Structure 1
Amino acid sequence: MAIQMDWTELHPEYKWKILLKQKRFALWALYSSIGSMMLGFDFGVAGTATAFPAFQKQFGIPFPSQPSGYLVPARYQSGWFGASTGGMIIGDLITGQLLDIIGRKHIILIGSLITGAGVAMQVASNEWRLFLAGRLISAIGFAGVYIESPVWIGENCRPELRGFFLCLMNGSIVLGQFLLSLIAQGTSKIHGKWSYETIIVLQFFFIVLLLLLYPFYPESPYYLLKKGRPEEARQALNRIHGTGDRALIDAEMKRIEDAIATSEKIQQAAATKGPLLLQCWQGTNLKRTIIAILPAAGQQLIGAAFVLGYVTYFLSLIGVARYFTVSVILYVVMLLSNLSAFFFIETAGRRRFLVSGITVLTFVLLLMGIMGCFASKGTLWFSVVCIFIWAIVYQATIGAIGFAFGSEISTLPLRPTVQSLIGLTQGAVAWVIGFVTPYMINPDAGNLGAKVGFVFFGLGVPLCIAFYFLIPETRGLSFDDMDYLFNKKVSCRRFQSVMKEQREEDILNVRGKRENLKGESAIVTSETEGGITRLV
């Protein structure tokens, strides 16, 4: 049965019914999030491959204390991770400029082809330098596809479902990581180079899927309307939502046109302030940009690059016998935990999850570090439990909500630029953490074991303070609401209470005006009936 409602109005109370109506949009959003899946899969490729004896023999050096007799040096691992995150930074910067030049759709084609070239180089590599170059090239490509997704979703999603669909970003990343761990568990039984090369070759699956559906993928109606192509924008909306509800298409055309008009007014007002990248750091935009990139930086500083990139290898180093199996279980738990955020982001809100999440994660890392000071089988498994608790809390809070939250904060004209800055920040911080992690955990370097928890605990404490004072609650707020609150310099901790007061005041003002109009009407009627024609 078709849902009958006024699409020109927002209906947050009907978000689940609207979600059922948005099946076609959901499928296209899932397609656009394949880039996130690629990122999640690739993020762990080098760290997972390093746990394979055949990979250690191919790329490592003799190291008798290791079960395989070989060890991949920390400098190789740091180089690979650095190349991957460096490629992401380059891809983010390029994509941030191209999104408004060639559109959203064509980024997918270009990114897929570049990623394919990089993966081919990794497959063909027999020494660490070519493998490094391949990781750099592939990261440039999938970074573009990854950044395109939140821009396309944020522009074309119904406001009632914005947080839900933006959660697809991290959900897809976790799904990619889960697939990697599952495949690695299966290929660990293979002897020889195909034990690790299989997980590299299977990255072509994402590329083929992107290229097969690319011709049918609708360009963003927001982009088409901004470029003065309304007929193409309407056709794109028909492809996104279907042709069964004309009122929905008309309402979406109007909503996007109004958003563009508002965006252009802001751009005209800021025309003298320089390039968009510079405007991100001016006036109230400075605070908004810092808030947008803070969760992305926090994800890496609290240990994401360590746990998500090196957990399989780390488990093997600390003595877990069936480390591939444990990593599969870990990613299943993370996937389930991440799915819970889909339902809570629009009900429980953003601030509560982010502030409480970063606090619990910091405490868990402290416990893990303390347990790392003791050498026993019991403390080993307590460390594993800490990793599981960390993963559950991370995926339900900052992991799931962080990227979606950052996509909401910026003004409309700066959204693509801020989105690229979020990706840039995430990549840059991940590069630093990923670069030093092998030196912290490798037997030929720091060999910290579970004491690595102390490092991330030290980084987590200032994050807890920053999150408490800077993270606002954006649930149920429109972009106009956020513009008002930031321009009024309202404390981030008071966003909801101030907007509630403002709305109550608006309601009282409207009622007051109605009462005045009724009173004036009554006076006019009375005077007319009394024959006082002078006042009529």
Structure 2
Amino acid sequence: MSPIGPGHDWRVVRPDLKWQILRRSWRFFLWAMYSSVGSMMLGYDFGAAGTCTAFPSFVKQFGEPFEGSYLIPARVQSGWSGASTAGDILGVLAGGYLIDVIGRMQQGASGWQLFLVGRLISAFGFGIVFVNSPVWIGEVVRPELRGFFLCIMNGSIVLAQFILSCTAQGTSKINNDWSWKIIIILQYMFVGKIWDYLSIRNKLSTNSNVSLRQVPLIVFYPFFPESPYYLLKNNKHESARNSLEKIWGKNDQELINAEMERIQANVEFSEGMIAEAKLKGPLIVQAFQGINRKRSLIAMIPPAGQQMIGSAFVLTYITYFLELIGVTNYFLVSLILYIVMLISNLSAFFVVEVSGRRKLLVPGMIVLTLICLIMGIMGCLTSKAAFWVSIVCIFLWAVFYQITIGAIGFALSSEVGSLPLRPVTQSIVGVTQGVTGWVMGFVTPYIINPDEGNMGAKIGFVFFGLGIIASVLVFLYVPETKGLNFDEIDYLFASGTNPRKFQEAIAEYRARGQSVKKEDLAPKSISYENEKEGVIVEQQE
């Protein structure tokens, strides 16, 4: 009999059967991909303006005369980046609140209505739905595959940017304004409003073509299952069961019963955690009270590290940058780069469950920092060889970024927040990424534009310096959460265990045959390492 066939005990977490469970999780995978459309929206939006800047017709329309041609000034590019990022920040803040008030399913409808009016408002809507996916996945996913499915968030961003790059390569053959207008129009693909745009542009009535406005995103929305965690938290047990049957199917009621028990236990455990810690006030305040302060700050490290190592530069301006440094077929090279990133990101789905989080993040950040240093050095040279080494550095950066902090950073940030505060923690993560991304997106045009810094590949020095800081933070504070359930993560933080010692501490805890209880979560004990025995012990403060 198959290990996960009829009669399998779903109440027992079996990491050794994760790949068999993955094959059983095809419905969940489809819903997880559907929930990640907010990440796709953000990914496309991140790169749209920077990609359009590489089109001559776009530059001519929005730029200024510069040395016999046209150039979009750095201040204008920075303004576009700032408007978009401001919308993202406001959106994730609103989303973190709304997701706990009206549920996970309702987020999409609130955000989709905002995408038609300007870059700022569009980004606000993108930010709202961006929060939904990691919260929904984290609450519903089987523990054996939590890291795998949380990688979907970054995978969706890369997929959208790959679509953007394919579109740019195709429209680069068009010698008029439609070369870049098509890219802008395709943003409406995500919300089913392409025909609205075309109808307005051509002064046609939208009422006569309603059928053309329907896309799978809207068609499937009424069937999207609400988070069972949210439903059980609000005492809607029958609705939670119906939602689980949408996610897993109705054939295996033993699985449904086990998931009902597991998620209900998480709800009760989380409520008990709040009571034990005696937290009060708004959720955003609670996220920075007591031990949750440490958890929130750790959750902020990966998104900040992504930007500090060059994410905003590569994912937003790489096509334009390739043009500036003299790459002839820059649209094609950009497309190849995104193919490499997409393949690298897909490999991270499996690597994260085998190697873990910390074991990839720490060496990954060090390698990325060194790549930036090499690229900066090559920027100081003028030889053809130095030029090609710079291109190779960009591709190597793409591979290591997507396998490490690009994919795993989002997964880790979604794991370290406590269950009751996960929505607001995800908002904090989004704001951190938005603020650091805004800073880097704002200054990058001033660094690379010919009318300003014109640093070329020497921009690598900037990310080398920032990468050193990010690498130190990752080494000191990022824990290894592979194989840990949420109860154990709560216990390790509450006991004051050094983040670098999570695996050793939980191994000792399990060896004593203990299970986590609510009283273990009161932040009244600290842990230290016995220098002689090398084990974690507890001591009252």
- What's the offset of the Cα at 1:345? 0.7
CA distance in 1, matches of 2:40, 2:51: 16
CA distance in 2, matches of 1:228, 1:467: 39
Q: Report the secondary structure of 1:27's partner residue.
A: helix
1:72 aligns with 2:79: no
- What's the offset of the Cα at 1:326? 0.3
Which residue of structure 2 lines up, in the alignment, with residue 347 of structure 1? 354
TM-score for both structures, normalised by structure 1: 0.89
CA distance in 2, matches of 1:384, 1:355: 24
Which residue of structure 1 lines up, in the alignment, with residue 314 of structure 2? 307
Q: Report the secondary structure of 1:346's partner residue.
A: helix
Which residue of structure 2 lines up, in the alignment, with residue 231 of structure 1? 238
Cα distance per residue 1:361-387 (max 9 Å; x no partner): 100000110110112222111111111
Q: Which of 18, 21, 26 is the aligned partner of 1:18?
A: 21
The answer to whether the Cα contact below 8 Å between 1:3 and 1:21 also exists between their aligned partners in 2 is no
TM-score for both structures, normalised by structure 2: 0.89
CA distance in 1, matches of 2:492, 2:220: 41
Which residue of structure 2 lines up, in the alignment, with residue 167 of structure 1? 151
CA distance in 2, matches of 1:302, 1:176: 21
Cα distance per residue 1:400-422 (max 9 Å; x no partner): 10001000001111111111100
1:39 maps to amino acid: L
The answer to whether the Cα contact below 8 Å between 1:147 and 1:419 also exists between their aligned partners in 2 is yes
Which residue of structure 1 lines up, in the alignment, with residue 519 of structure 2? none
Q: Report the secondary structure of 1:297's partner residue.
A: helix
More helix by share: 1
Q: Which of 427, 430, 435 is the aligned partner of 1:428?
A: 435
The answer to whether the Cα contact below 8 Å between 2:279 and 2:289 also exists between their aligned partners in 1 is no
Which residue of structure 1 lines up, in the alignment, with residue 161 of structure 2? 177
CA distance in 2, matches of 1:165, 1:304: 21
- What's the offset of the Cα at 1:275? 2.0
CA distance in 1, matches of 2:388, 2:221: 46
1:344 maps to amino acid: V
Cα distance per residue 1:175-213 (max 9 Å; x no partner): 111110111000000011100010111112111232221
The answer to whether the Cα contact below 8 Å between 1:295 and 1:398 also exists between their aligned partners in 2 is yes
CA distance in 1, matches of 2:92, 2:271: 24
2:28 maps to amino acid: F
Which residue of structure 2 lines up, in the alignment, with residue 386 of structure 1? 393
1:226 maps to amino acid: K
Which residue of structure 2 lines up, in the alignment, with residue 356 of structure 1? 363
Cα distance per residue 1:88-141 (max 9 Å; x no partner): 0000100111001111111111112212x13xxxxxxxxxxxxxxx11111111
CA distance in 2, matches of 1:437, 1:460: 16
2:5 maps to amino acid: I
- What's the offset of the Cα at 1:496? 0.7
Q: Report the secondary structure of 1:44's partner residue.
A: helix
- What's the offset of the Cα at 1:10? 0.6
CA distance in 2, matches of 1:272, 1:343: 37
Which residue of structure 2 lines up, in the alignment, with residue 483 of structure 1? 490
CA distance in 1, matches of 2:176, 2:514: 72
1:112 maps to amino acid: W
The answer to whether the Cα contact below 8 Å between 1:362 and 1:457 also exists between their aligned partners in 2 is yes
Which residue of structure 2 lines up, in the alignment, with residue 109 of structure 1? 109
Q: Which of 33, 36, 40 is the aligned partner of 2:39?
A: 36
Q: Report the secondary structure of 2:470's partner residue.
A: helix
Cα distance per residue 1:281-313 (max 9 Å; x no partner): 122211111111100100001100001100000
- What's the offset of the Cα at 1:37? 1.2
1:54 aligns with 2:57: yes
The answer to whether the Cα contact below 8 Å between 2:22 and 2:145 also exists between their aligned partners in 1 is yes
Which residue of structure 2 lines up, in the alignment, with residue 370 of structure 1? 377
**Structure 1 residues 147 and 507 mapped into 2: Cα distance closer, same or farther (>3 Å)?**
closer
The answer to whether the Cα contact below 8 Å between 2:279 and 2:286 also exists between their aligned partners in 1 is no
CA distance in 2, matches of 1:410, 1:300: 21
Moved more, 303-312 or 410-419: 410-419
- What's the offset of the Cα at 1:507? 7.8
1:469 aligns with 2:492: no
1:87-166 superposed matches below 5 A: 87-115=87-115, 117-118=116-117, 134-166=118-150
Q: Which of 190, 193, 205 is the aligned partner of 2:189?
A: 205
**CA RMSD across the alignment:** 1.4
Gap regions ≥5 residues in structure 1 = 119-133, 509-536
**Structure 1 residues 272 and 289 mapped into 2: Cα distance closer, same or farther (>3 Å)?**
closer
The answer to whether the Cα contact below 8 Å between 1:84 and 1:136 also exists between their aligned partners in 2 is yes
The answer to whether the Cα contact below 8 Å between 1:112 and 1:211 also exists between their aligned partners in 2 is no
The answer to whether the Cα contact below 8 Å between 1:298 and 1:463 also exists between their aligned partners in 2 is yes
Q: How many residues align?
A: 489
Cα distance per residue 1:47-70 (max 9 Å; x no partner): 0000000100111111235xxx21
Moved more, 430-439 or 257-266: 257-266
**Structure 1 residues 435 and 244 mapped into 2: Cα distance closer, same or farther (>3 Å)?**
same
The answer to whether the Cα contact below 8 Å between 2:103 and 2:227 also exists between their aligned partners in 1 is yes
Cα distance per residue 1:294-336 (max 9 Å; x no partner): 0010000110000110000000000000000000000000011
1:3 maps to amino acid: G
Structure exhibiting the larger radius of gyration computed from Cα positions = 1
Cα distance per residue 1:57-86 (max 9 Å; x no partner): 111111235xxx211111110011111111
CA distance in 2, matches of 1:100, 1:38: 22
CA distance in 1, matches of 2:110, 2:76: 29
Cα distance per residue 1:459-499 (max 9 Å; x no partner): 11111111111111110011111122112211111111121
Question: Structure 1 vs Structure 2: percent identity of aligned residues?
Answer: 58
- What's the offset of the Cα at 1:504? 1.7
- What's the offset of the Cα at 1:269? 3.2
Gap regions ≥5 residues in structure 2 = 193-215, 516-541
Q: Which of 289, 303, 307 is the aligned partner of 1:282?
A: 289
Which residue of structure 1 lines up, in the alignment, with residue 422 of structure 2? 415
Cα distance per residue 1:498-523 (max 9 Å; x no partner): 21122222289xxxxxxxxxxxxxxx
- What's the offset of the Cα at 1:36? 1.0
1:492 aligns with 2:502: no
Which residue of structure 1 lines up, in the alignment, with residue 528 of structure 2? none
CA distance in 2, matches of 1:249, 1:507: 27
- What's the offset of the Cα at 1:34? 1.4
The answer to whether the Cα contact below 8 Å between 2:87 and 2:124 also exists between their aligned partners in 1 is yes
The answer to whether the Cα contact below 8 Å between 1:112 and 1:210 also exists between their aligned partners in 2 is no
